Structures are given as C-alpha cells and as structure tokens.
Structure 1
Amino acid sequence: MSETENRLLSVVEHWLPRMEVAGIPSATAKSVIEAAGVWENWLTAWSAEGDRHDAMGEEALALGRRITAGEAFSRASLFYHFGQFMAFDDLKAKDVALARKVALYRKAAPLLEQPAELVEVPFEDGVLRAYLRRPQGSGPHPLALIIPGSDSTKEEFPAFERHFLGRGIATLSLDGPGQGEGRSHGHLRADITAAIAATIAAVKGKPGLSGAVGLVGMAFGGFMALRAAAALDGLAGVISINGFHDLGAMWPTLPKVYQDNMTFALGGDDVLESARRFTLAGVEGPTVPALILHGARDKIFPPSEAQKSADMCRGDVELHVFPTGNHVCNNIPWLYRPLVADWLSERFKA
C-alpha cells in the first residue's frame, strides 16, 4: 500500500465521524471518498461535490426556498472544508478551496433558520472574523463563544450551534489567530486570551445579548479555552472537549497525518519546539466552573490529558471520559453535545 493510500485511510479512520456530525450524511461522505479512490484525488472529489450542492442552493434560491438554499450552501462549504483540511501537498490549491469554503458559507449565513451575522473583530493590525447566531425570541440571551481546533473553522459548526440555540443560548463561532481566516495573523498561538477578549468586547452591547459568556473549545480549542479562561474575568464557565495538557510531550505518539497537520498549523523551522509551547504546565488554571470531556478511544490525544487538564483547574470541575468516545467524541454526538449545551445553560442560570 502506498503512502498516499495510507493517508486517505488514515484521514477516514480519524475523521469520518466528524464529517458526519458536521452535517454530511454518512452515505454521501463514503460516496465522495469512493469517488476519490486515492489521496491525490481527495480535494478534487470533495470540491466537485461542493459545487454540486452550491448549484442546488442556487436553484432553491431562484425558487424562493431560502432555508433550503441556506442549508445547501452550508453543506457546500463543508465539502470544501473537508476537501482541504488535511491537504498539504499543494498549498495553492488548498488556499483556493479555503476561499471557496468561506464564500459559500457567506452565501448561507443570512439564509439559515437562525441567520448568522458576520462579526469583524478589530485585532492587532487587522480583524478576526466570527459568526453570531441568536436564538428565537428577543432575549436577552447568554453567549457560547466557540473556539475551533487546529484544522476546524467557524464554518464547520452550524449543526453544533443548534444545540445551544435550542436552549436559548446565542453562539459566536470564531476563527482565532491561525485558524481559518485567522491565518492572516500567522500560525496557531498557544495563548489567544487577547483575541478572545477582543472578540467579547466586539459583541458587547449587541442587540439580543445579555453579556454573559461561556467558552467552548474542541481539541486545540479546548486547550486554548482553558488557558484563556484563567486570565479572563466574568466568564460563566469553560468547556474543553478532547483538549490536551501538553502537546510537546505527546508529539512522538501523534499519528503521522496529525503531525503533518501540526507542521502546517504551527509553522516555524522547528515544529517540535513550536509544539512544546502548547502546554498548561505552569499555567494557573481557571477558577470559573469547568467541564472537561474526552473520548477514551481518542487515537490523537490520549484520555490521560483530560485528567491532567482537570487537575490544573482551580474551581469546580466536572470530568467525563466516555469509554466509547473517539477524538472529540464525534462518534457519540447524541451524548456529548446535549451535555455540553445543558451544562452551559445551567451555569448561565446559576
């Protein structure tokens, strides 16, 4: 078996459940993977499917079917997202797919059942971008600020956001520095406290928001949420889903496909040295309530990282390691996603 065939199988093994829970039906995802056949065709096959759903959205829009169109454009964005998320062989083609993903979700945003408002956050010499969605009703609503991982972006989360929206919680999905459109600010940073503070300030006083904020991070985002929560005042709580305590210590055990991801995401001449900066060792933990979730079958970040993360918290902490859960527990979304939304809802009411 060639290295590229191994790469395709590795990507599917680690991330097929993530594609499904994001909103791509299993049969459709498997059909696209079969059409690709080999890794060299991966980006082309996913892009072609994205174009097909974009055309469906345009047809629905022409007929005045706005919600159907929004859902189609959002799916089209997802196809482009998963086409490029592990594609590092041709960075120019990756950038084209990234731009297409962003443009497709911009088309979807105002058409979603709970429309997504693009928020531009003044940060350093430019802006960070996020999407704000509000629940039905005038509010005021508390806010779940969602922090992606190393290869996820704000466009991936409409299905996740629905769990919060249904409980009266607004959502703000952010591309931080090094994430999605945040690549304009360079590579991933271990500490994004300043970016999160700027984001909270940018939405302060927006209609329908109460001012209460909780942080929700996945994988790398879980690590960054815990680190930032320790330095921010006034949070209602923080959630880490399959985050980690020390990336550098895990480096030798990370799958090759994930090391490739890290090489792209972290940058620098010495990626291992960059990885060592992503640690909670020596960092004061958050004093706000914390929920830490992890899948015991995570083949990227071992579940022992969850216990270490819980141990560094200085406030009330609730830890769940699900025996059957994979990376980010995307094979058991019916278990972890309602728990996350319910827990945060209860913190807002406390």
Structure 2
Amino acid sequence: MPTPFFRQPGVLADFIAQNRSRTYGAGLDPYAYERVTSRLTDLMDWPGAFIGEGRRQLADGERFEASGAVRSAGEAYRRAARWFHCAVLLPHPDREEAAHAARQADRAMDRALALLEPDAVRVEDDSYAGRLRGIAHAGRGVAVVVPGLDSSKEEFHDLADALLARGVAVFAMDGPGQGVRAATTTVDADYHHVMARVVDALHARLGGPVPIAVVGLSLGGYYAAWSAAHEPRIGAAVTVSGPYRLTGWDDTVPFVRETLALRSGSERAGREFVARVDLREAAKRIGVPLLVVDGADDVIPGVENGAGLAAAAPYGEYLSVPGGDHLLGNVRERWLPVVGDWIAERLRGAVS
C-alpha cells in the first residue's frame, strides 16, 4: 500500500523533477529519462518502468554480444545497470522488487566489465560488495567510492571514470543497507568497521599495503568522513553533498524518514541511526587531507551540510559550487575534475 511519502500532493511531478539531474549524473540518457517518466501516472509505478527500460538495454546487449560487437554489448550492459539501479531510488514498499532490481544492476555491471575491463575483479564479503577497476594503477593508490542512503556502486560511473582517467584505481562498493547488500543487511553508522574490512581485502588482493583514499556521496560522505576519523590506513577523504550531521528524525522529510526506516529495518532503528549521524566530534580526529564539496543550492530539511565539517577538520578544505543541487548532477564540470585531480594528487603524494 502507498505510504505517506507516496500520498503527498504532487509527489510524482516533484520526484521526477528532483531526480532529473541526479539521473543525468548517473549516466541516464536525458531524453530516455523524459520518455520513461512522462508515461507515469503514479509514482508507485516508477520501479517497474525503470526495470522495463533496464531489460530493454539488457536485451540490446545480448544481441550485440551474440553478433560479436563486444564494445557495443558492454556499453549496453552498463546502461542497463544504471536503469536497474535508478529503479530503487525511492522508498517503495515492494522490497522484493527493489532487491530484484539491485541484483539485476549488479549482474549487468558484472557483464559490462567482463567485456570492457576484463581485468576488473570483484571483492566482497557478507557486509559489502564491490569491484576493483584499473588494477594496473593500484600501486599508485586506490580510491574507494562509497554511495549514500538510497544509492549503490552502479550510480557514480562518471566519478569512477574520472579517477581511472587520472591513473587511480577505483573500488566502488555497496556497504550495509546499500545496493546489492540492502536485502540482507541494514545501514551501519560505524562504517569504519566496514572500511577496515575493505582495506584488509584490497591489501590482500594487491599483495600488500597501497595508499587508500575514500570519496563518499550524500550519506556516503558521512561514511567517508567517519571512516577517515577512525581508520588510520585512509590517507585522504572527499565528501560530496555529505551531511555534517542530521538534526533529528522529526526534522527530516518523509522521503528520508521512510527510506531510513526501510534501510535500517524499522522506524526505531532509523531514529537511532539519525541520532548517530553527527560528525562534530569525529571531525577533530580526521588527521588527513579532507575535501568537502557541497552544492550551494542543496538544502534538505534536517540535514546540516558540510561547511562545519571542513572548518572543524584539521586539514579540511571547502568547495561550495554555485547553483549546485544535491549530488551536483547539474554542475558536474564545476566539481568532478576538481575532485579527480585532488584525489590523484593526494595519492601520488602518499606514494612519493
């Protein structure tokens, strides 16, 4: 049954508008997005519409692969992964369908990389899953990309590509309550425990320690900053649209409350999680370079943006991008090269 979020007046048009730049930033074709969303008459039908488009892209990939067009097949599978991921951007009560879409996104990206980047390797345990790409450059350092509350490793392709182009290996991951792990785990405010296992696994895979940077987006920005404060093997961190703190459960909008209740397992657990998302004390412990990026127009009730984090961290830098919205999908050229260069420079400095 529709929840309070879905029963808000005008919610369909608002949700389509609010996710336009985000989905563009995730790599969806803008005309395809308009075509798919223009057919919707009820937001409850969003997952099915996006899954349907994902299946069409998947079928294209299979036809290309059968004909020997490997590049075209891999690109189609990658597009399919994006559509399947974007099917789960809302707190839909059908969690089986959401889990199915997340699995399809995961599998489609595996198929894409098998064709386009056969050296990519999967690294995972019960709490996280991810892919290590650009392994030939891993000696120079690895950037761990951490998604947010309703995101997954299939969303931030542009960021991963920008890092890879700068000679940085990338490990894009789903942690507890995220992506392909959302069906079996719940969100964890003590993300440094997850990050410690990730770093252990990367070092084991690569045959020894390598420089590690972490970049987190939206709630992933909290995870990244918290991990940098508590995991000593992280040498640099970036937050993009990340919260300095959440001011309280009742301050947040219905979308955030319902998504948190689903991703944490219950409203009570969601309330406890919100109370934990607070970097005021942890910021002082971040003893490594930290870049905090916010969109100047990113205003979400109940969320205190990152200016305070940058000011409190000993080596914090702050970039507020004029006109930028949440995740800054509408101004990518104003921050994406900056973040790519910043991480590459910090990792090179760690090697030298």
Normalised by the length of structure 2, the TM-score is 0.89
SS in 2 for 1:204: helix
Distance 1:343 1:258 in 2: 31
The match for 1:256 among 254, 257, 271 is 254
Partner AA of 1:159 in structure 2: D
> 1:91 — aligned with what?
95
Unaligned runs of 5+ in 1: none
CA distance in 2, matches of 1:104, 1:259: 30
Map 1:128-139 to 2 at 5 A: 128-134=128-134
Equivalent pair of 2:253/2:302 in contact (CA under 8 Å): no
Cα distance in structure 1, aligned partners of 2:279 and 2:187: 16
Q: CA deviation at 1:216?
A: 0.4
Q: Is the 8 A contact 2:25 2:156 kept in 1?
A: no
How far the C-alpha of 1:139 sits from its partner, in A, is 6.2
Tell me the distance in 2 between the aligned counterparts of 1:115 and 1:330. 29
Query: Hey, what does 2:265 align to over in structure 1?
Result: 267
Residues 285-324 of structure 1: per-residue CA shift (max 9 Å, x gap): 301000000011113268852111113312x211011121
Q: Distance in 2 between matches of 1:240 and 1:340?
A: 10
Is 2:244–2:303's contact at 8 Å kept on the other side of the alignment?
no
Correspondence for 1:104: 108
Aligned to 1:223: 222
Matched, 1:40 2:44: yes
CA distance in 1, matches of 2:239, 2:188: 17
Q: Is the 8 A contact 1:142 1:210 kept in 2?
A: no
What are the residue-to-residue correspondences of 1:190-269 with 2, within 5 Å? 190-207=189-206, 211-247=210-246, 249=247, 251-269=249-267
Q: CA–CA distance in 2 between the matches of 1:280 and 1:28?
A: 39
Q: Which amino acid aligns with 2:236?
A: G
SS state at 1:240 partner: strand
RMSD: 2.3
In the other structure, the counterpart of 2:22 is 18
Matched AA of 1:308? G
* Number of positions where the alignment pairs a residue of Structure 1 with one of Structure 2: 342
- With 238-247 and 12-21 compared, the bigger mean Cα shift is at 12-21
Contact persistence 1:143–1:214 (CA under 8 A): yes
Aligned match of 1:70: 74
1:108 counterpart letter in structure 2: A
Q: Which residue does the alignment assign to 2:292?
A: 292
- Is the CA contact (8 Å cut-off) linking 1:285 and 1:312 kept in structure 2? no
TM-score computed with the length of structure 1 as normaliser: 0.90
Tell me, in whole angstroms, the C-alpha distance in 2 between the residues paired with 1:342 and 1:313: 21
Partner of 1:165 in structure 2? Answer: 164
Matches of 1:209 and 1:156 in 2, distance apart? 29
Deviation string, structure 1 residues 35-56 (Cα, Å, up to 9, x no partner): 2232132122111111110011
Q: SS at 1:84's partner residue?
A: coil
Q: Give the percent of matched residue pairs that are identical in Structure 1 and Structure 2.
A: 26
Q: In structure 2, how many angstroms separate the alpha carbons of the residues matched to 1:129 and 1:96?
A: 16
- In 2, Cα distance between the equivalents of 1:5 and 1:103? 36
Q: How does 1:333-348 map to 2 (within 5 A)?
A: 333-348=332-347
| Distance in 2 separating the partners of 1:172 and 1:9 | 35
Q: Is the 8 A contact 1:215 1:237 kept in 2?
A: yes
In structure 2, the CA distance between the partners of 1:4 and 1:67, relative to structure 1 (3 Å rule), is farther
Equivalent residue number for residue 3 of structure 2: none
CA distance in 2, matches of 1:97, 1:169: 29
Q: Determine the C-alpha separation between the residues in 2 that align with 1:183 and 1:89.
A: 14
